[in-house]
A = this chain, B = another copy of it.
Amino acid sequence: MANAVVSQSGGPTGVINASLTGVILEACKHTRIDNIFGAVHAVRGIVEEKFIDLRQISVSKLETVRRSPSSALGSSRDKPDEEYCQRILKVFEKWDIHYFYYIGGNDSANTCYIVNNMAEKSGYDLKAFHVPKTIDNDLLVTDHCPGYGTAAKFVACALMGDDLDNRALPGVKIDVIMGRHAGFLTAATALAKRRDDDGPHLIYMPERPIPMDKFIGDVDAVYKKYGRCVIAVSEGIGDTDGKTWAEKLAENAERDDHGNVQLSGTGALADFLAAEIKSKLKIKRVRADTFGYLQRSFAGLQSEVDAEEALACGRQAVLYSLKQDNGSVAMKRNGSGKDYGVEMFRTDLSTVAEKTKSVPEEFINAEGNGITDAFLEYAMPLAGKLPETEYLGTYPTVSKP
């Protein structure tokens, strides 16, 4: 018998606690695992020896944990180097910890990888497993990543409402969505579309740099066609010169040297794009929202599929750790549409660590301003059931009776 530690790292998601729940529930079932410690604030909690006894959590509390957004054990942005990992290993030895479950993105997989290599070298018996999470869906190997489906559901519900709002009071609306390098979440706004003329009418992802004149031209064309335009933009979109627009804004702000003018804040990109459209297209009603943290931590909103898969990934990490030494949990899709399902498999930590996945070419339209049906087929089962909506204002009008 040996002790286990589980922890959560990086940016929170809507189902990272479902993965935590999966680890706890599965670990409790196996006699080879003694104490199940939760390290508070990720690796920092490990080196500071701040552990919670997770066996003592009541099932009722654990059920609430499962449904709560954000990271119930706290998180950390620490990126451990070799020395830091050495300290982790020392604590493992001291606390007789031989099972390590780390829920996080590619950085967390890397931490797992380093710690595991060190343990191997020093002959310390450690089972180190990474459980994937990210709203960006940018992990390699796995078909998709727990956390993405719930964030996709959030942005889809947001865009559904926003598009109806834009129908009611027409104009141009820009929504800036999380995603610095991968546009999966921004692409998911397309799940909001129900009718042919529904927004988002334009979708821009970091994978496809777009010069300002093309962007303005796109908006102009949609606005002329529908009398309105709803646009989803990744925070990481860039120009064709290789720089992101957010970087350019920050540079300009620094050049201006006004201490009081902040362009690096979260609202800056949205406001900048709105101003460009206003000034170049002379459209009066232009509004912009930056969705911010609501996308990753909104209470009471989970994709059921995502929550189930997240929990299953947590369970699998424990099951793998009873038979194998290390690895990352990944999912393979084994059906589409109504037959959607996944099977879990183990992949080497090195295949996931530090690497990122981009939106594949076949998911982005030729013009680079929208998505393809292949993407919809990919993303739809992940977001789960979405609300239906109705708009009456486009129904045929009647003549005087």
Binding site for B on A (CB under 8 A): 3, 8, 11-12, 14, 35, 37-38, 40-41, 49-54, 57, 61, 64-65, 67-77, 94-96, 156-158, 160-162, 164-165, 167-169, 173, 192, 252-253, 256, 258-263, 265-268, 270-272, 274-275, 279, 287-294, 296-301, 386-393, 395-398, 400-401
A-B contact pairs, 24 of them (CB 8 A): A11-B169, A12-B168, A35-B401, A40-B397, A52-B395, A52-B397, A64-B389, A68-B164, A68-B391, A70-B167, A70-B168, A94-B400, A95-B400, A161-B299, A192-B299, A253-B261, A262-B275, A266-B289, A287-B293, A289-B290, A289-B294, A290-B290, A291-B294, A299-B389
| Given A70-B165, A390-B68, A271:B262 Cβ within 8 A | yes
Q: Across the interface, do A289 and B292 meet the contact criterion of CB distance under 8 Å?
A: yes
Q: Across the interface, do A393 and B72 meet the contact criterion of CB distance under 8 Å?
A: yes
Q: Across the interface, do B75 and A168 meet the contact criterion of CB distance under 8 Å?
A: yes
A355 to chain B, nearest CB (A): 23
Contact partner of A73 among B158, B301, B393, B396, CB < 8 A? B393
A172 to chain B, nearest CB (A): 13
Number of copies: 2
Contact partner of A261 among B65, B256, B292, CB < 8 A? B256
Q: Across the interface, do A267 and B290 meet the contact criterion of CB distance under 8 Å?
A: yes
Give Cα A50–Cα B394 distance, bound, in whole angstroms. 10
A204 to chain B, nearest CB (A): 18
Q: Across the interface, do B161 and A70 meet the contact criterion of CB distance under 8 Å?
A: yes
| Given A289-B290, A293-B165, A293-B173, A299:B387 Cβ within 8 A | yes
Cβ contacts under 8 Å, A40 to chain B: 392-393, 397
| Nearest B residue (CB) for A253 | B261
| Given A38-B392, A393-B74, A266:B287 Cβ within 8 A | yes
Cβ contacts under 8 Å, A289 to chain B: 266, 290-294
Give Cα A188–Cα B41 distance, bound, in whole angstroms. 29
Q: Across the interface, do B52 and A398 meet the contact criterion of CB distance under 8 Å?
A: yes
A65 to chain B, nearest CB (A): 5
A399 to chain B, nearest CB (A): 9
| Given A68-B389, A70-B167, A158:B298 Cβ within 8 A | yes
Assuming A51-B397, A67-B389, A266-B287, what are 8 further A-B pairs, CB within 8 angstroms?
A49-B400, A69-B389, A164-B299, A256-B261, A261-B261, A261-B263, A265-B267, A289-B292
Give Cα A301–Cα B160 distance, bound, in whole angstroms. 12
| Given A265-B274, A275-B262, A74:B167 Cβ within 8 A | yes
